[in-house]
Amino acid sequence: MMFAKQLREGVRDGRITCSVRIWTRPHVKVGGRYSLEGGYVVVDAIRPIALGDVTGDLARRSGFAGVVDLLKTARHGSGSNIYFVEFHYEPPAESPEAT
């Protein structure tokens, strides 16, 4: 699961725990672990939503100033299905040598 550069810090520190994606079909699965700068984004839930479900509050929870900003980023392919993805960040495990 890819994130715009300006969102990555918020994902890593736990401020951003959801995302809206516009795809032709889901590209992630519940329980899936996706690399993000040394750690992982772990998908907790994914469900289809309608465009009307994308509110200003949801946009801010996703790391954007508003709906327009979110949709500019989310609309980058040919898909038209909107998905709400909930996730958490899993930091890299400490190596045994570090303890």
pLDDT at 99: 47
67 is in which domain, residue-wise?
9-45+58-90
Asked, for residue 16, whether it belongs to a domain, the answer is yes
**Amino acid (1-letter code) at residue 45:** A
Number of domains in the chain: 1
Alpha carbon distance 96, 90 (integer Å): 18
- Give residue 97's pLDDT band: very low, low, confident or very high (50, 70, 90): low
Asked, for residue 77, whether it belongs to a domain, the answer is yes
Model pTM above 0.75: yes
Asked, for residue 28, whether it belongs to a domain, the answer is yes
